[in-house]
């Protein structure tokens, strides 16, 4: 796009371009030029809206974290419906089947980005920490409804599910695990606390 021509929704266009570069080429390929080339705009557009590449990437990560917040609200509202195992399987697939997995790789590969994100996510790995909070919140609601044991340690269960889910989805080059494999992990983790049949 020639310099001087306005682009609509520059922020979202740049975020979308960054996601495509990340998914296709990985975190090491993510440069200002790669993003603006993918977006079809002049390189200066990114720097007109963001102080530098790490400021742009921090905003991208925070935007994607806010999407986990939306997923968390929907998951919590699903408490008491369907099955706990089915709801958790769907939640893990939604989190790790999205761009979140490559965002985690991006965050762990860039020290300056991680430092900027510490203001919003002081502990844990950004995206994974929010996903863990989402699962813990849902499990708390299910515990309150009596669908998992009253003494269930929801924080440990959530950490275990997020860690296992991350390992299950990682390194698959765009081919997600079968739904049955995700469900097996979920049912194994919650087997001792589930108040419903797991099969």
Domains and CATH numbers, the chain: 1-49 (1.10.10.60), 64-190 (1.10.357)
Residues 102, 25: Cα–Cα separation, whole Å: 10
Output phi, psi for 9, to 5 deg. 50, 55
In this predicted structure, what is the pLDDT of residue 5?
43
In this predicted structure, what is the pLDDT of residue 190?
96
Residues 46, 39: Cα–Cα separation, whole Å: 10
DSSP 87: H
What one-character-per-residue DSSP string does 3-57 give? TT---TTHHHHHHHHHHHHHHHH-GGG--HHHHHHHHTS-THHHHHHSSSHHHHH
In this predicted structure, what is the pLDDT of residue 3?
45
What is the per-residue pLDDT across 19-75, written as a single tens digit (0 to 9) for each? 999 888 888 898 999 999 999 998 889 988 899 998 999 999 998 888 888 899 999
* pLDDT > 90 in the chain, percent: 52
What is the per-residue pLDDT across 60-77, written as a single tens digit (0 to 9) for each? 999 888 888 889 999 999
Answer whether residue 158 shows pLDDT above 50.
yes
Q: For residues 93 and 97, which has the higher predicted lDDT (pLDDT)?
A: 93
């Amino acid at each position: 796009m020639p310099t001087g021509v306005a682009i609509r929704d520059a922020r979202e266009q740049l975020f979308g371009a960054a996601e495509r570069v990340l998914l296709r080429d990985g975190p090491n390929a993510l440069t200002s030029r790669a993003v603006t080339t993918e977006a079809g705009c002049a390189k200066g557009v990114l720097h007109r809206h963001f102080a530098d590449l790490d400021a742009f990437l921090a905003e991208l990560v925070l935007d994607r974290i806010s999407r986990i917040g939306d997923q968390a609200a929907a998951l919590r509202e699903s408490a008491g419906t369907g099955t706990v195992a089915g709801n958790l399987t769907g939640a893990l697939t939604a989190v790790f089947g999205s761009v979140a997995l490559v965002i985690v790789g991006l965050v762990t590969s860039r020290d300056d980005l991680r430092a900027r994100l510490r203001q919003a996510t002081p502990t844990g790995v950004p995206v994974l920490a929010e996903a863990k909070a989402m699962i813990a919140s849902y499990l708390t609601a299910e515990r309150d409804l009596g669908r998992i044991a009253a003494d269930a340690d929801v924080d440990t269960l959530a950490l275990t599910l997020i860690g296992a889910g991350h390992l299950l989805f990682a390194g698959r080059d765009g081919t997600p695990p079968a739904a049955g494999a995700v469900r097996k992990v979920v049912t194994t983790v919650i087997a001792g606390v589930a108040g419903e049949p797991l099969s």
